[in-house]
Amino acid sequence: MLPTSLVRARVRKGRLIPIFASQEDIGLASLMIDELDRAYESRERKGSLLDRVRALEDYNDYRLVRGFYTILERRCVFKHRDSPVHPTMLRMEVFKESSRRGYALTHGERKSIMEEVASRLKVDPSYMEEMMWSDMDENLIIEEFRSISPESLVAEYNIALLQSILLNCTRLECSVSQGVEWKNLLRQAKRLGLMYMLDDSYRYKDEDDDDNNDIPSSVICIIDGPASIFKLTDRYGFAIARLLPTLLRSKGWWMKAWIVRKGMGRGVDAKRLYELKISSKDAMKIDLLLHNSSSSEWDGNRDEDDGYSVYDSSVEERFATLFNQYGTGWRLVREPEPIAVSGQAFIPDFVLEKYGRRIYIEIVGFWTKDYIERKVKKLMQIKSKGMYKDSDMILLVNKELVCSEPIHMEHLSKVARIIAYDGKNIPMKQIIAHLKSIEDEITAEHVSDDILMKGVKAYIKGLNHGRIISIKEMAERFNITYDAALSIITSIVQNGELPNHEMVMNAFLIPRDMLEDIRRKVWMHKRLVDACKVLEAYGVPEEYHTSLLSILGYTVVWKDIDVNNAVIVRKYYEEEDEDGLR
């Protein structure tokens, strides 16, 4: 962080706007890093370094120069020059001798005292004065300097500036975009002892507020600031400062804070509350350097599992691997955004998304009695308040838990589908079957939806009827199941609303005159590749080429594995013409 006197910010219409270091300040950052490198290489006195740094204040904002130096100084190790006697002992002996003899009023008397003490302590008289004051701050020598890039210095400065401003906040609201990021943020808040709660209705409180569009999630975390408690404590303020880097490392983030500032109103002691808002979108707009890959002393204990690909258990990893191999069409998301339950967070292990439905997956492996009781309580609250509308939940529960906690399992079965697993053997067939039953329910809902039926009819009637209508394309366009799209379009055909179309392989509708054109043009070719080019020109999907040729009365004869040598023959000529010729 930065000293309060070095905080750069301006006020506009009740808002506090930090004055961040920008790309234009990269040159100054580079120059100051070079000064530190040079001072370290030559083991220069700190006082000499400070003189050169102060000279830069004549041409730059002194608060920015001192802010950069404050950060760079934390990366240095200073120590006094090696001496056979500690400087404190040298000064004490010199003052004792001076007290015994009386004040040294001449240079000769002063030199005599120094030589007497040097002889007594067996040190070199010529270095006596230098060693005597070598532990003073301006005389310290740079023993170590961990250099960084100018971009990293600017990023660390901007983070430190925000941290310093947040020391006097009464309330902090923040949000991140992903479940893993939420998990890291809340874990760090808990570790730092911050008082927080979650609110999942914030976005809808003021829909006219354009700033709400910057919030990456429907959930926000509300943290009480150090200025909101009975006694303002630096320790609590430092805890919020240490939370900030975790927030800023997220891919999408947003924060809003209320800051108490002194001396910005009438009178030196006047206090006023200012609002601070900033998000990852703002940072991108102004090309603001905030993310710093290097470690920071205010970073707190960074978790090793901050990487998004790391799983909490081998069971989670195995489930994700197996599920993706099945190709169900359900989108698997690890640790989605949290569900707010009585101000606390519930973050499922996974969520499956398809057709606007969300299926939460929670894996319950190792447990304690308190853990499973809390889990039951949270899930019961979610269910009772209808917090996951258009959603379902599957609990993958360790088989031993099912047997040892029948009462809790009975409660859990009321709020979720329980599927037991044994060790690392996850019953994927049961999970896929459950998802299929959900898809059947979704299909029934889609088919019985009159508004959806009218929308599909209107869309089809607006199409150019000289083209193929793909069932798959219709399903994707209206975000409905394939079976629902097929059922709706089939009913349209059966009702005579598309009299000139024919359903082919339950895959697409094709105009009858187009089908006849295809039949005539295919008849002119004998090679499979040439016939497929005809079908491709009419927009027939490649996966249906051979099936449509079969419907048209052709079969494919393979002479070898080269597709260019394959030919098509009319089925009733096949036995007569073994060479594949008509």
Q: Average pLDDT, whole number, for the chain?
A: 80
Question: 387: domain CATH number?
Answer: 3.40.91.80
Q: 263 in a domain, yes or no?
A: yes
Q: What is the pLDDT of residue 79?
A: 85
Q: How confident is the model at residue 113 (pLDDT cuts 50, 70, 90)?
A: confident
Both 582 and 471 in one domain: the answer is: yes
Q: How confident is the model at residue 36 (pLDDT cuts 50, 70, 90)?
A: very high
Range in 16-30, 257-271, 472-486 with the lowest mean pLDDT: 257-271
Check if the beta carbon of residue 154 is closer than 8 Å to that of residue 25: yes
Q: 142 in a domain, yes or no?
A: no
List, for residues 184-195, the tens digit of each pLDDT value: 888 888 778 787
Both 418 and 485 in one domain: the answer is: no
Question: Taking 50 as the threshold, does the pLDDT of residue 351 lie above it?
Answer: yes
Residue ending a domain, choose from 409, 441, 473: 441
Both 247 and 267 in one domain: the answer is: yes
Q: What is the pLDDT of residue 64?
A: 94
Q: 298 in a domain, yes or no?
A: no
Question: Taking 80 as the threshold, does the pLDDT of residue 307 lie above it?
Answer: no
For residues 285-302, average pLDDT: 54
CB < 8 Å & 24+ apart, contacts of 298-301: 298/1, 298/159, 298/160, 298/163, 298/238, 298/241, 298/242, 298/244, 298/245, 299/242, 299/245, 299/246, 300/188, 300/191, 300/192, 300/242, 300/243, 300/245, 300/246, 301/191
Pick the residue with more confidence: 129 or 173? Answer: 173
Both 322 and 432 in one domain: the answer is: yes
For residues 90-113, average pLDDT: 82
Q: What is the pLDDT of residue 32?
A: 94
Both 462 and 407 in one domain: the answer is: no
Q: 339 in a domain, yes or no?
A: yes
List, for residues 494-525, the tens digit of each pLDDT value: 888 877 888 888 888 888 888 889 989 999 99
Residue 335 zone, left/alpha/beta (φ > 0; ψ -120 to 50; rest): left
Both 353 and 420 in one domain: the answer is: yes
Q: What is the pLDDT of residue 187?
A: 81
Q: What is the pLDDT of residue 8?
A: 93
Residue 514: enclosing H or E segment and its boundaries? Answer: helix 512-522
List, for residues 40-72, the tens digit of each pLDDT value: 998 888 888 999 999 999 989 999 999 999 999
Question: Taking 50 as the threshold, does the pLDDT of residue 86 lie above it?
Answer: yes
Q: How confident is the model at residue 282 (pLDDT cuts 50, 70, 90)?
A: confident
Q: Is 524 helix (H, G, I), strand (E, B) or coil?
A: coil
Q: What is the pLDDT of residue 201?
A: 66
Pick the residue with more confidence: 2 or 201? Answer: 2
Residue ending a domain, choose from 285, 306, 330: 285
Q: How confident is the model at residue 104 (pLDDT cuts 50, 70, 90)?
A: confident
Number of domains in the chain: 4
Tokens 């295919």 -> residue = 522
Instruction: Provide the pairing of β-strand 220-224 with 253-262.
Output: unpaired
For residues 151-158, average pLDDT: 92
Q: 338 in a domain, yes or no?
A: yes
What's the CA gap between 209 and 28, in Å, rounded? 38
Range in 110-119, 125-134, 162-171, 506-515 with the lowest mean pLDDT: 125-134
Cα 192 from chain centre: 20
For residues 249-266, average pLDDT: 78
Both 403 and 484 in one domain: the answer is: no
For residues 290-305, average pLDDT: 46
Both 492 and 437 in one domain: the answer is: no
Q: What is the pLDDT of residue 530?
A: 92
For residues 415-431, average pLDDT: 83
Q: 55 in a domain, yes or no?
A: no
For residues 178-183, average pLDDT: 80
Both 349 and 391 in one domain: the answer is: yes
Question: Taking 70 as the threshold, does the pLDDT of residue 264 lie above it?
Answer: no
Both 201 and 126 in one domain: the answer is: no
Structural domain harbouring 395 = 314-441
Q: What is the pLDDT of residue 209?
A: 52
Both 579 and 454 in one domain: the answer is: yes
For residues 231-244, average pLDDT: 74
pTM score, two decimals?
0.60
List, for residues 447-501, the tens digit of each pLDDT value: 888 888 888 888 887 776 667 888 888 888 898 998 998 888 888 888 888 778 8
Question: Taking 50 as the threshold, does the pLDDT of residue 278 lie above it?
Answer: yes
Q: 309 in a domain, yes or no?
A: no
Q: Give φ, ψ of 272 to 5 degrees.
A: -150, 150
Check if the beta carbon of residue 203 is closer than 8 Å to that of residue 215: yes
Q: How confident is the model at residue 367 (pLDDT cuts 50, 70, 90)?
A: low
Q: What is the pLDDT of residue 61?
A: 93
Residue ending a domain, choose from 417, 441, 465: 441
Q: In 205-343, where do the E strands start and end?
A: 220-224, 253-262, 271-279, 331-334, 339-341
Q: What is the pLDDT of residue 580?
A: 40
Q: How confident is the model at residue 181 (pLDDT cuts 50, 70, 90)?
A: confident
Q: What is the pLDDT of residue 121?
A: 83
Both 269 and 193 in one domain: the answer is: yes
Q: 246 in a domain, yes or no?
A: yes
